[in-house]
Structure 1
Amino acid sequence: MSHALRHRSSRTTMPEDIAPASEAVVICTRNRPDVLRETLRSVFSQSGAAERPVLVVDGSDRTEATHTARVVQSQSDSRLPVWYHRYSGVPAGTRQRNAGVDLLPDSVEVVHFIDDDVTLRPGYFDALCEVLNQKRHLLGVGGVIAESEGAPSRSRVRWAHRLFLLRVDQPSRVLPSGHTTPAWPTGESDMQPAAWLSTCASSYRASVFDTHRFDPAVEGPSPRLEDLDFSVRVARDGPLAVVPEARCLHRVSGRNRRGTAATTRERLVRRYWFVRKNMDRPLNRLAFWWSTLGQLIALVTSSDPDSRAALRGHVRGLRQAWTRAHPLLGEGVDDG
């Protein structure tokens, strides 16, 4: 990669024994040392791993942090540049990613974000960097993420999904309601324009962080939607894209995740937070509430065993969003 991009002027550098590099990987983790081990193996199995430093930013509890540091050390050798950083603040994926970016050397032009429960397929970084080299106008790129072995699943879009602005037949879209569609292969090898990228597996030019940061107000286990918030803001400055050849498997660790009711409640509230912050127009707010009605109808009529818990969470989320009884919706929240 060329060194034409501007860099941040006030960053702490990584240790001197890690040579300057044009790209680096940032992995944020918390209390998942065994899961992280498998992810690191897949990162180090990629071509060019010796020239691609990996920074693990750990927000684990004390005992788990000791275990995590040992895992990182066990995966490193003189040929594989990896650095472990214990995050000293209140753990949050947003804050840890921001801290990771600040610790990278000024030579880094592309920052790859990988979740700690992701397995990369061969050629992942090569595919992304090839596109970034060829398409200098792109500010960020992402891969196609699967949650099971084989081809990424693509949910069938029904008329009700379209009616209630919950889903469409196009990948990587952001709907007027704030709902999104994931990336999926379309049968073409060319890159696909994207309205948003998941930090589960995405890469940004380092110059992006001169202007944008992940919102530090967003904390807690998944779902957080901080990747949607961040990438939509970046997309206002320049285009994003998905590269179909860059594939990965999201193993979806059960640690640091909420139950069905809490997940449903939090997802609804954070979706409303995203709309208010990034799409704050009367029609978008109306579209959001219209979509929650569609979800409510679907849950009431569902025969899924988890639907009762999801319905409870949905109702609680509606109440929180309407009354703004949530830290992200209260006055004085830092929007990043």
Structure 2
Amino acid sequence: MPSHSPAASEDGVVICTRNRPSELARTLESVAEQSGAAQRPVIVVDGSDRDDEERTVEVVRNWCDEGLPVRYHRYAGTPAGTRQRNAGVDLLPDSVEVVHFIDDDVTLRPGYFDALCKVLNQKRHLLGVGGVIAKSEGTSPRPLVQWAHRLFLLRADQPSRVLPSGHTTPAWPTGENDVQPAEWLSTCASSYRAEVFDRHRFDPAVKGPSPRLEDLDFSVRVARDGPLAVVPEARCVHRVSGRNRRGTAATTRERLARRYWFVRKNMDRPLNRLAFWWSALGQLIALVTSSDPDSRAALRGHVQGLRQAWTCAHPLLGEGADDG
């Protein structure tokens, strides 16, 4: 592991994992290759089943032996990314001023932490920053936006935006390396000032495999207190592990129901609810007319999600669920 000078800020890393020891090993390798790695504490909060827990402990031990200041923590409660992240924040040393979140299936490009901390040091008004996330090497996270996407409030041509329907756009480079204002950040690769967690926590009611939208919920609440930004120089690749993920129908159902939960909790105005249902209609039309092999399963899940949202049958939508 290369030896470099310490990072400009006192910062620490929280990685939540479950049943992904091989993926975690690759992620820790990219963390160890960052400058200042020997001075940057890393907390791995594990919610794995027994067999994978043992393998995860071994992965962490191996990197600790290599000089990475990584600490393993077995999460004792029901595994959930929200609860594990909250626990990880509490386990970091009090000296940490910036908390980095990365997923256990992410590879950081060189200079990732330095780029984020440099911006936070220079722009003291920012409460959080994020990097640009690609799905694979050489790809762009910028989606193709067609007229139907804009019509049904599903996508837009501006990065890092929250649309009136509750749908979002990812961060992508705009041709310049200037810091970009952001309305939300993905916990796949985002960083916050430690003081943020005195006022905000991830909603512990959100649990289960992806998609969860807990990062959208958290970052939008933080953004009410102060601005967020994306740093184009901070790059990473989300390898998107297939473990701990639902099938097509269940993913589509959960994404729709949780999107409605997000709108009700954070954008609860009549026009936003109307925008959500309008976007759901656009998705329904797209699925009915799609020739994609997975479209039938996605359509089934979409209809189930519509039913859950309309009847508030989802656990997040029941009585008292918006209080988290």
List alignment gaps of at least 5 residues for structure 2: 1-8
Q: Secondary structure at the match of 2:321?
A: coil
Measured after TM superposition, the shift of residue 154 of structure 1 is 1.9
**Partner letter of residue 192 of structure 1?**
Q
Say which SS state the counterpart of residue 293 (structure 1) adopts.
Answer: helix
1:204 aligns with 2:178: no
Contact residue 22 and residue 109 of structure 1 kept, 8 A: yes
Match of 1:76 in 2: 64
The offset of 1:103, in angstroms, is 1.0
Aligned to 1:301: 289
1:1-336 aligned within 5 A: 22-77=10-65, 79-333=67-321, 335-336=323-324
Where 2:323 maps in the other structure, the secondary structure is coil
Is this contact kept in 1: 2:159–2:170, CA < 8 A? yes
SS in 2 for 1:76: helix
Give the drift of 1:79.
3.1
* Conserved? CA contact 1:215–1:335, under 8 Å: no
**Aligned mates of 1:214, 1:88 — CA distance in 2:** 17
Instruction: Give the partner amino acid of 1:332.
Output: G
Write out per-residue CA displacement over residues 143-192 of structure 1, whole angstroms, 9 at most, x where no aligned residue: 00000111323221111111101010000000000000000010010110
**Matched letter for residue 135 of structure 1:** K
Stretches of 4+ aligned residues off by more than 6 angstroms:
none
Contact preservation (8 Å) 2:24, 2:105: yes
Distance 1:277 1:294 in 2: 22
State whether residues 217 and 335 of structure 1, in contact with CA within 8 Å, keep that contact through their aligned partners in structure 2: no
- Following superposition, the deviation at residue 76 of structure 1 comes to 1.5
Amino acid at match of 2:155: R
Q: CA RMSD in A?
A: 1.0
Amino acid at match of 1:47: S
Supply the distance in 2 between the matched residues of 1:155 and 1:61 (Cα, whole angstroms). Answer: 36
What TM-score, normalized by structure 2, do the two folds share? 0.96
How far residue 334 of structure 1 moved from its aligned partner, in angstroms, is: 6.0
CA contact (8 A) 2:141 2:171 kept: no
**Structure 1 residue matching 2:65: 3-state secondary structure:** coil
1:21-59 deviations in Å (ceiling 9; x for gaps): 821000000010011000000000001101101100001
CA apart distance, 1:333:
2.2
TM-score by length of 1: 0.93
Equivalent position of 1:4 in the other structure: none
Name the CA distance, whole Å, in 2 between partners of 1:103 and 1:232.
24
Residues of 1 paired with 2:145 and 2:110: CA distance? Answer: 31
Displacement of 1:87 in angstroms is: 0.4
Distance in 2 between residues matched to 1:81 and 1:247, nearest whole Å: 23
CA drift of 1:88 comes to 0.3
In structure 2, what is the Cα distance between the partners aligned to 1:30 and 1:153? Answer: 25
